[in-house]
Amino acid sequence: MTKRLGWFLAGGLLVALLLAGVVSNFASSSPDGLDATAREGCTFNDEGEITGGTCIAQQEGEHQLGDSPLADYGIRGIGNSFLSTFIAGTAGVLITFGVGAGLFWVARRKRQDA
């Protein structure tokens, strides 16, 4: 790997870590486009619970992995929400980077063997 490519990858990883670990803590808690569309046609109380109407959101259920340690963009058991989101975001980036790097390494090894 050339030195220039190494700096490029390190810079990209650093930007991804900053975005996932720091900037993600400032994301809006308002429903995104998909959630807003799913809620169209229903009425809600002050807590955001459906009180009437018909919408897609009435059919939603609990996610199968809702009890996992990284559910809801945080880490269960960490009381500080900023720290919880920071650790979950950086862990996600590092895991994704590691899996991607591993796949590229395997693909490169197979090409060299051929």
Nearest to 16 by CA among 103, 80, 83, 96: 96
Work out the pLDDT band at 101, boundaries 50, 70, 90. very high
CB 58 within 8 A of CB 42: yes
pLDDT value at residue 100? 94
**What's the gap between Cα 74 and its chain centre?**
9
Q: Looking at 3-74, which runs of residues are DSSP E strands? A: 42-44, 50-53
Tokens read off for 100: 């991607």
Work out the pLDDT band at 17, boundaries 50, 70, 90. very high
CA atoms within 13 A on the CB side of 113: 6
CA atoms within 13 A on the CB side of 91: 12
- Dihedral through CA 29, CA 75, CA 66, CA 25, nearest 10? 10
Work out the pLDDT band at 8, boundaries 50, 70, 90. very high
Q: What's the average model confidence in pLDDT over 97-108?
A: 93
pLDDT at 14 over 90: yes
pLDDT at 99 over 90: yes
What percent of the chain is modeled with pLDDT above 90?
A: 45
The full set of domain ranges for the chain reads 3-29+73-113, 31-61
Q: What is the pTM of this model?
A: 0.69
Helix then strand then coil, in percent of the chain rounded to 5, is 60, 5, 35
